[in-house]
Amino acid sequence: MTTPKSKTPTHAPMSQWPTRDGELIVGGLPLSRLAARVGQTPFYAYDRGLLSERVAHLRAALPAAVKLHYAMKANPMPALVAHLARQVDGVDVASTGEMQVALDAGVSPTEISMAGPGKRESELHQAVAAGILVNLESAAEIGPLRAASDRLGVPARVAVRINPDFELKSSGMKMGGGPKQFGIDAEQVPQVLGQIDQAGLRFEGFHIFAGSQNLKAEAIIEAQLKCFELALRLADAAPAPVRTLNLGGGFGIPYFPGESTLDLRPIGDNLAELAARASERLPTAAIVIELGRYLVGEAGIYVCKVLDRKVSRGHTFLVTDGGLHHHLAASGNFGQVIRKNYPATIGNRAEAPLGEPVSVVGPLCTPLDLLADRMALPQARPGDLVVIFQSGAYGFSASPHRFLGHPAPVEVLV
């Protein structure tokens, strides 16, 4: 690829994906061969090797005492969950639908926890029956958990999700601090701990989740420190020893021009300190880091095919068979205020020089259906394969497949 000479911000290099003979290599296969194996475009492909490497990278950077959980909401593909489940220490689910996938993947109920506001009584009943840990988001969940426990003759395992009294700085999404639907306000926690005790639920720990998609190590460190200290304070009111202290995640990946990779080293150093303090102050507690996007986001690509290279009034459009209906986030319609391009390439010409800026669009009758806006890509023609990088998280499952009645994409783990 050509090196940009201007100071325009560029995408982080997608060096996790090798190329060979001009083609991107996915799970050892040239992309065009993988497309032939899949038998259709568009598709999502997730690379097993990259997933395992990411776990190893985290294990090397984080202290051994810290447990690593997978937040399945980022990518609930069953084969991917099964692959990761063998390598992480637990799986966090956001619904009983996700719980079933985790159980099918062979994850022990003792290693599954469920979070999310508005849990229905039937869901709480299922969770107790499964024997998983329920992160309490509201005191209103105590009654149904007790009832389920009584009916089933099975203890209800709970952790308290705390809405902290601070925010994670520079976070893509703020999920703690101020009034929130998530968790129980820190100042209410002692009272709720009393109610848990009275109801006979089995208290196991705390869950504090202050944000997500953060690329600044110092902000993550500060949040983890504050979360840890908040948990120490609240542990005094706990009806039983804290066995699990889930400090959430929030580790970001670089999506847009000018963003760069998160530096794990200082985060690991800080967690080592916290683990040492925990071994004194909360000797029964395991510190848990829960990651979704950071584990899977960079290990996935979305692939669609160029159907038409159309020039309109001097601007080139690559019209593809993929689009917003398959990859809402890449179209800029999933939480972004200003649309920016995901990193992208032409996967079967990945080593070719970049041409004039083109726009990559899909088949939908809406100008929102835009996968890349005026982006320099290798020169493409019909039949070529557009690759959208950083698509392993919040892609397939977070997109409106039915919109306009086109065929759904498929997912493969390679």
Rule CB under 8 A: which residues touch a second copy? 73, 76, 93-98, 101, 115-120, 138, 140, 163, 173-175, 178-182, 185, 307-308, 310, 312-315, 317, 319-321, 328, 333-335, 337, 359, 361-368, 382, 396-407
Q: In whole angstroms, what is the distance from residue 157 CA to residue 234 CA?
A: 18
* Residue closer to a second copy (CB basis): 38 or 282: 38
Give me the phi and psi of 140, to 5 degrees please.
Answer: -65, -15
* Residue closer to a second copy (CB basis): 10 or 181: 181
Calculate the CA 211 to chain-centre distance. Answer: 12
Amino acid at 355: G
Q: How far is CA 404 from CA 224, 267, 304, 359, 362, in A?
A: 44, 44, 17, 21, 11
* Residue closer to a second copy (CB basis): 41 or 270: 41
Q: Are 329 and 45 in contact (CB under 8 A)?
A: no
Give me the phi and psi of 52, to 5 degrees please.
Answer: -65, -40
Nearest distance, CB of residue 77 and a second copy, angstroms: 11
* Residue closer to a second copy (CB basis): 147 or 364: 364
Nearest distance, CB of residue 198 and a second copy, angstroms: 20
H or E element, residue 229 = helix 217-235
**Sheet containing strand 19-20, strands side by side:** 19-20, 23-26, 29-30
Tokens of 124: 């709480």
Nearest distance, CB of residue 295 and a second copy, angstroms: 16
* Residue closer to a second copy (CB basis): 14 or 358: 358
Nearest distance, CB of residue 399 and a second copy, angstroms: 5
Nearest distance, CB of residue 152 and a second copy, angstroms: 21
Peptide bond into 190 cis (omega under 30): no
CA end-to-end distance (rounded Å), the chain: 26
Tokens of 358: 């083109």
Amino acid at 39: G
* Residue closer to a second copy (CB basis): 168 or 285: 168
Nearest distance, CB of residue 278 and a second copy, angstroms: 25
H helices of 259-368, where? Answer: 264-281, 293-296
Q: In whole angstroms, what is the distance from residue 106 CA to residue 180 CA?
A: 34
Nearest distance, CB of residue 142 and a second copy, angstroms: 12
Nearest distance, CB of residue 353 and a second copy, angstroms: 23
* Residue closer to a second copy (CB basis): 27 or 363: 363
Nearest distance, CB of residue 404 and a second copy, angstroms: 4
* Residue closer to a second copy (CB basis): 68 or 136: 136
Burial class (CB in 10 A: 0-12, 13-18, 19+), 269: middle
Report the relative pairing of strands 29-30 and 23-26 from DSSP bridges.
Answer: antiparallel
Q: In whole angstroms, what is the distance from residue 90 CA to residue 18 CA?
A: 30
H or E element, residue 291 = strand 286-291
Give me the phi and psi of 216, to 5 degrees please.
Answer: -110, 110
Nearest distance, CB of residue 305 and a second copy, angstroms: 9
* Residue closer to a second copy (CB basis): 36 or 173: 173
* Residue closer to a second copy (CB basis): 23 or 411: 411
